[in-house]
Chains A and B, each alone.
Chain A
Amino acid sequence: MAWIMFLVMLVLLLFGFPMKVPLILGAIVGFVMMFDGFDRMDFFIQQMLAGIRPTALIAVPMFILAADIMTRGQSANRLVNMVMAFIGHIKGGLAVSTAASCTLFGAVSGSTQATVVAVGSPLRPRMLQSGYKDSFTLALIINASDIAFLIPPSIGMIIYGVISGTSIAELFIAGIGPGLLILLMFSVYCIIYAYRMDVPTEEKASWGERIKSVREALWPLGFPVIIVGGIYGGIFSPTEAAAACVLYAVVLEFLIFRSLKAMDIYAIAKSTGLITAVVFILVAVGNGFSWIISFAQIPQTVLGAVGINEAGPTGVLIAIAVAFFIACMFVDPIVVILVLTPIFAPAVASTGLDPVHVGILITMMVAVGSATPPFGCDIFTAIAIFKRPYWEVIRGTPPFVFMLMGATLLVILFPQIALFLRDLFFQ
């Protein structure tokens, strides 16, 4: 039964159906086989609605809304300018600034795409102008934007947390270590690249300019304070922190910077609503799909056949990493998290793995897989946003994919990279 369901999904997916359809039809096949007909389809609807019921999901639209307000206003640019003022002048500084800006903006934004737009749009022209190849620039932007998926807030972590019952607050803080590790690796690579290609350096900003850039970025730097400080200072739950970010973004862009007009909020909210709906319908049908999988005891059957019960904790981690990596090469990360997390849940529980560690590993694999050719989602994001051909977008990615894989291996072998901050705050 499992194989038929997944085969139906795969065929429809490759054919180009909207992603909700392969999930729905895969599930319908499951229901029909399980219950000899359509009698019980009601419960697919029940589980769709149950999928979008957890109130922790409210954090998703709130973080999208906050990031959207900032990207359309001035906050995003001010952050980029500050990073540039400090490291723009070193060899490869522009590239390192791009990675660093993605990390910093990632502390506001929960999604990869928003980061690609907010950081990539202003910085790509500058990188091209100063002599970086476009293939390198594009690869850097799409891969560095994945850091935003690891630095809190993160939509992927919220959804993983909701479906696996793991604390979102703990996931958030555990993402910081691996996020910074990847930033470090990327920065080193950027500097080496710049020396090898002999990319000219930028003019050094004066201390006056630097101070000015910090002053201008001071307000937007309030976001990470609200999120990290708010959650770990015992003021907010993750959902409330998201709402506080919205309030802060509104105050900043509408009242202090006056970069947006009152009527803009309607358009921004509508766009946020649209993105939210597109994600949540996947969450809904994904939950229905997982339900029938679980009802049919497929995780136990399939994973048992593969021998996961004898694999031990490291074996399970590697199996998870491989499964998520491959799936993310084909399918949207959110769909992958929705479908695969429940399948691996029994194995995670029985090996006694730390669900936070697993969540971070999954988030990293999602990042790597979605940047990996042939079909990784990030590639198509970049094609859509920068209007560049497929080959140009993927040519520069291999070094980044290898670095991300290296980082993943480190996190598997040394869980403390992810967990030390969590343990510091929570134990």
Chain B
Amino acid sequence: ACSDSGNESNSSSANAENEGQNWRYAHEEYEGDVQDVFAYKFKEYIEDNSPNTVQIHRFGELGESDDIMELTQAGVLQFVNQSPGFTGSLIPEAQIFFIPYLLPVGDEKIVSFFKNSNAINDMFPDLYEEQGLELLAMYPEGEVVVTADEKVTSPQEFKGKNIRVMTNPLLSETYRAFGATPTPLPWGEVYGALQTNIIQGQENPIFWIQSGGLYEVSPNLIFTGHSQFVTAMMANQEFYNGLSDDNKKLVQDATAYARQYIFDYVPGLGDKMLKKIQQDSEEVTVTRLNEAQRQAFRDRAPQVEAKFIEMTGERGKQLLDQFKADLKDSTAAEE
């Protein structure tokens, strides 16, 4: 009497590897968003190259970010994609991506940073390992863009504006440093709150601004260049270590395949989405801060760095130093 979906998913009973296993993979975004694209590329590679199958669960299907993370740690899910901002309660150091003006925002620069950074490729895996997670890939989802009720070009112009942030203390600190009033709000209320002016702005990668229609109610797009939206894909470590060498290689290859796809997909995505937005609305304005304007915001970053170190201690400081060294290297390499 059991419907067929009930049986197949029990990976524990499917010990004969050549029959193929069904792996579950959860992420935090909706259909067609960057994490979803990554997940489906991963699935495509696995299913084309092995008898295994991958079942993808999108946002909300199995709970919120914290829930799917716990499920992965317990081995109920095999793979999870979680942005470091949400991992903050588990791995405080992961909030480093909220420090403004730490990462480059240019498309080529960010891709080369992710490919070559020691911090990303050597230090982060250890941090995740402590939590029973095998970090498989970190990748950028695009430059974070601020939208507001007015064009904002200086910290003075941010004064008195409620800017919606995800519930994360370090991100709040960033907007406090920028002169705004950080206002945590659940995603479902953001559109309405912008419309009714409870908040005067918010930040998100441009594909969210497009798919969520936020530009309709918050039409001034400001490219501050202060941050990249970064995310991470990982596996339950016990599961991963228990895989045969062939399957380990399969997972690594599938990750590399999806990651490469995203490295090609994300650059240009911002421009494409921006075009869509501009076609759809004539009200929209685009403001790109010039170097002098950015400097005024960048000058406020040390306050956020101090808060980060206060929250994460010596290990956070080492990570931050390594980030800066990596960046110097990648800039030097280009010159």
Contact = CB atoms under 8 A, between A and B. Distances in A.
The answer to A–B direct touch (Cβ < 8 A) is yes
Given A50-B63, A165-B60, A425-B195, A43 B6 contact: no
A42 B9 CA distance: 19
Interface string B51-72: 0000101001111101100110
B3 A298 contact: yes
Contact of B3 (A47, A161, A235, A301): A301
Contact of A42 (B57, B61, B74): B74
A167 interface: yes
Contacts of B268: none
B198 A236 contact: yes
A171 to B, nearest CB: 10
Interface string A1-31: 1111000000000000000000000000000
A188 to B, nearest CB: 34
A1 B7 CA distance: 10
Interface in A35-50: 35-36, 40, 42-43, 46-47, 50
A89 B200 CA distance: 49
Contacts of A295: 57, 62
A295 B22 CA distance: 13
B197 interface: yes
B63 A47 contact: yes
B192 A33 contact: no
A165 B67 CA distance: 16
Interface string B243-255: 0000000000000
B192 A169 contact: yes
A237 B62 contact: no
Contacts of B273: none
Given A46-B70, A167-B189, 11 more contacts: A35-B76, A36-B12, A43-B71, A46-B71, A53-B64, A233-B196, A237-B193, A237-B198, A291-B62, A345-B60, A426-B217
7 closest Cβ pairs, A-B complex: A234-B197, A234-B196, A169-B192, A1-B6, A167-B192, A297-B5, A1-B2
B168 to A, nearest CB: 15
Contacts of B67: 46-47, 50
Contacts of A47: 63, 67
Q: Tell me what chain B mostly uses at the interface: helix, strand, loop, or mixed.
A: loop
Interface residues of B, number: 38
Interface in B167-193: 185-189, 191-193
Size class of the contact patch on chain A:
35 or more
Contacts of B1: 1, 3-4
A4 B6 CA distance: 12
Nearest to A300: B5
8 contacts: A1-B3, A33-B2, A50-B67, A53-B64, A56-B188, A168-B188, A234-B193, A426-B217
A297 to B, nearest CB: 5
B189 A56 contact: yes
A50 B198 contact: no
Given A165-B188, A169-B192, A237-B193, A294 B61 contact: yes
B10 interface: yes
B13 interface: yes
Contacts of A291: 62-63
B216 interface: yes
A309 interface: no
Interface in B186-240: 186-189, 191-193, 195-198, 216-217
A426 B189 contact: no
A345 to B, nearest CB: 8
B5 A237 contact: no
Interface string A212-249: 00000000000000000001111111100000000000
A54 B186 contact: yes
Of A1, A3, A42, A235, most B-chain CB atoms within 10 Å: A1
Interface string A193-213: 000000000000000000000
A68 interface: no
B188 A232 contact: no
A232 B66 CA distance: 32
B57 to A, nearest CB: 8
A34 B71 contact: no
Contacts of A302: 3
Nearest to B213: A427
Interface string B1-40: 1111110011011000000000000000001000000000
A296 B74 CA distance: 18
Contacts of B63: 46-47, 50, 291
Of A2, A161, A237, A425, most B-chain CB atoms within 10 Å: A237
B10 A296 contact: no
A296 B188 contact: no
B65 to A, nearest CB: 11
A426 B198 contact: no
Contacts of B12: 36
A170 interface: yes
Contacts of A416: none
Interface in A252-304: 291, 294-298, 301-302
Nearest to A297: B5
B186 A2 contact: no
A398 B61 CA distance: 39
Nearest to A55: B186
Given A34-B9, A426-B192, A40 B185 contact: no
B185 A166 contact: no
Of B4, B13, B67, B217, most A-chain CB atoms within 10 Å: B67
Given A43-B74, A232-B196, A294 B62 contact: yes
B187 to A, nearest CB: 7
A161 to B, nearest CB: 7
Nearest to B187: A165
